[in-house]
Amino acid sequence: MLRAVKVALKLYALHQQSQQKPMAITKKDDEQNEPPFRRSFGWSCRAIEYDLDEASGVVRRMASVEAARDFAGIETCLRGLIQLMRAEDVQVDYCQLGRDLYLLQFDGYRDEVFMRWSRDYYRSYEKSKTDEQGGPIPAEEEIR
């Protein structure tokens, strides 16, 4: 657990460094009584470049995270994605990322985490619409 939190905090520090706006997705003050809506790391990766035809670098980096043999390799590959997100002002749900990093340490959960990231990355999004965090909004037919 401690290892996952440490890596999430290191990635957040890299992401937030010298940025004016918060790079972490947090709850708003008016949402205190509601459970937080979590965003997967795949959602943040898609926000780097919405057009899948132009996002080969993002897909390649996501594949390298999945192919990493150990936790240190995952951390290294995630750092590259975080740097892309930093350049595009894309926010990350670091609470959810910390949970996912914890699960990635167990073989039985790796596939589940990567499948969720992939599902959120390849979901159909409306190109011109973004939510409060600046991320993609799912197309109307998928919301139902």
Per the prediction, the chain carries an average pLDDT of 87
Decide if 23 is inside a domain: no
The pLDDT tens digits of the residues spanning 70-87 come to 999 999 999 999 999 999
For the cut 50, the answer to whether the pLDDT of residue 141 exceeds it is: no
Model confidence over 44-73: pLDDT tens digits? 999 999 899 999 999 999 999 999 999 999
pLDDT at 32 over 70: no
CATH assignment at residue 78: 1.10.520.40
- pLDDT at position 143 is 45
Question: Does residue 50 belong to any structural domain of this protein?
Answer: yes
Instruction: Give the helix/strand (H/E) hosting 95.
Output: helix 94-104
Question: What pLDDT, on a 0 to 100 scale, did the predictor assign at position 135?
Answer: 64
Say if CB 52 and CB 61 are below 8 A apart: no
pTM over 0.85? The answer is: no
Higher pLDDT, 139 or 117: 117
User: Residue 96: which domain range?
Assistant: 1-16+42-124
Q: 25, 43 in Cβ contact below 8 A?
A: no
Average pLDDT on 117-144 reads: 67
User: In which band, very low, low, confident or very high, does the pLDDT at 17 lie, cut at 50, 70 and 90?
Assistant: very high
CA 13 vs CA 7, 8, 16, 22, 106: distances in Å: 10, 9, 5, 11, 25
Q: What is the dihedral of CA 131, 136, 140, 142, to 10 degrees?
A: -120
Using alpha carbons, select from 9, 35, 51 the residue that is nearest to residue 136: 51
The arithmetic mean of pLDDT across residues 13-26, rounded, is 92
Q: Work out how many domains the chain is built from and give that number.
A: 1
- pLDDT at position 26 is 79
Answer yes or no: is 139 within a domain.
Answer: no
pLDDT at 124: 79
